[in-house]
Structures are given as C-alpha cells and as structure tokens.
Amino acid sequence: MAPVARRLADCFSVLEPLQRGSGSEPLTVARHIRDLYEVVGRSGQRVAPALVGSSWGAMLALAFACAHPDSAGPLVLIGCGTFDRESRDRFRLSIEQRMDESVRHRLERLENEVEDPDERLRAMAQLLLPVYSYELIAAGDETENYDSRAHRETWEDMLRLQDQGVYPAAFSAINAPVLMLHGTEDPHPGQMIRASLAPYIRQLEYLEWERCGHYPWLERAVRERFFAVLRNWLERRLRQ
C-alpha cells in the first residue's frame, strides 16, 4: 500500500500502520484491532480517520469499524477478502484456472527449494502476482517483511470468527460510509463478496473496473482512475 499512501499524502494526512509480526502470543483479529486502535488514538486526530485497506487490510478495517464505530470514519475496501465459504471456493477455483503448468510447477518446487517459510511466502507472492492481476505496470515489491506465521495465525483466526458467525454479521454496527473498489479480473469474486456484506452494511457502495485485478494502483488501465475516485470520494465523505 506504500504507493497508495504516497499518492494520498498529497491531499491528506496519512498514517500507514505496519502490523504486528509473529511473536510470543498467537496473532488474532482482536490483537490487530487493539493495535490499530492504539495507532488511531496516538494520531492526535480530532475526528475519526478514514480507513483505506487492501485485501486483508480491508477486512481489518471492517473488523475495527464494528468494534470501535466512533473511532472509524469512512471506509474504503480495495480488493476486499472473502467472508463466506462460497466466495472462498470461487476464489480458489479462479486461481486454479488461471495458473499455467509453469506456475504450478514452480510453486510445487518452492517447498523443497526455499527452506525459510518467510522467504517462501515472498517467492509465492511474486509468482502469484500476475495471476492476481490483468496488465501490470512495472513496479517493485515494497513489502518490508514477509511473516509466514503471522499470516497463518491471523487468517486462521479470521476463518474461525466467520465459522462462528461473528463476521460478517457484526458489521451491522458500522455507521460510517463504506466504499468497495474491485476489479473484474481480481480472483476474489467482488460481486459475491458484496452480496455477503450488503445485508449488514446497508450503506455499502460498490464500484467495479474491467481490466483490473487485485491491486488497482498497479494496473495500467485503471491506475489513474482509481486514484481519482479514491481521492474524490474521501474528500467528499470527510467534508460531511
């Protein structure tokens, strides 16, 4: 999200929280919410800040906003992750259909060729980036650290909460405006995710672009439109 943070910094005061890594305690959604609440509290903002999240970050924004509705301003969900089994099944099917034999073979080799699980996760992300995308502009990976254990623990806890019926039902507590931005070429099925959220987030807005994958700011066809929509929507909502 560093490129998004930089572009928004022309118009807004921007904080880019770096999430807690794995350590002595298992990582949970609740732990991430507490960390984000501390960041928001230390920011010195007199009004609830907008939250702009991509993929898992979009899911965290929703979880934070329902836990602390008075501390969350407008929410933007970019390439939001899944909240039900049907959407996850569609996501997996899309990934499987898009991978060619070369990618499959290279993914299979990673288990034996890359011993460090964090470096293996980095290599996997790089291999799958084209599968998640439509037509990428040249862009380097600015992720500072890959943390395989943090990834696994956090996602397992999110799945547990979904299986228990906590999410997405808890999102009915969200009062702030919510905008979903999604690409039709994103393997995360945007329309299905929207349908799973809409009963609980009545104010949900949805915008979808063709020729766009999981990371709109890296897509040649929509990059500038993405930034224009994002900036204009935030300016309008933050003035209300």
Task: Return the closest-CA partner of residue 56 out of 144, 155, 131, 132.
Answer: 155
173-202 confidence digits (pLDDT tens): 999 999 999 999 999 999 999 999 999 999
Instruction: Give the mean pLDDT of 14-31.
Output: 94
Residue 204: CB atoms within 10 Å: 18
What is the predicted pLDDT for the residue at 8?
97
Helical residues (DSSP H) of the chain, grouped into ranges = 2-8, 29-42, 56-67, 85-98, 101-113, 117-128, 148-163, 190-197, 223-239
What is the predicted pLDDT for the residue at 46?
81
- 75 has a pLDDT exceeding 90: yes
Token output for 211: 């020729």
Determine contact, residues 78/53, Cβ cutoff 8 Å.
Answer: yes
Residue 119: CB atoms within 10 Å: 13
What is the predicted pLDDT for the residue at 43?
83
Judged on CB neighbours under 10 Å (0-12, 13-18, 19+), 27 is buried
> Residue 203: helix, strand or coil by DSSP?
coil
164-173 confidence digits (pLDDT tens): 999 999 999 9
DSSP 136: B
> 88: Cβ–Cβ under 8 A, 6 or more apart, which residues?
82
Can you give the pTM of this predicted structure?
0.96
What is the predicted pLDDT for the residue at 48?
93
At 202, which amino acid appears?
R
Q: Which DSSP helix (H) or strand (E) runs through 205?
A: strand 204-209
Percent of the chain with pLDDT over 70: 99
Please state, in angstroms and rounded to a whole number, the distance separating the CA atoms of residues 32 and 63: 9
- In this prediction, residue 96 has a pLDDT band, given cuts at 50, 70 and 90, of very high
Token output for 204: 């949900």
Judged on CB neighbours under 10 Å (0-12, 13-18, 19+), 179 is buried
The region that residue 22 occupies, defined by phi over 0 for left and psi between -120 and 50 for alpha, beta otherwise, is beta
Sheet holding 75-78, edge to edge: 51-54, 75-78, 178-183, 204-209
Longest CA pairwise span in the chain (Å): 54
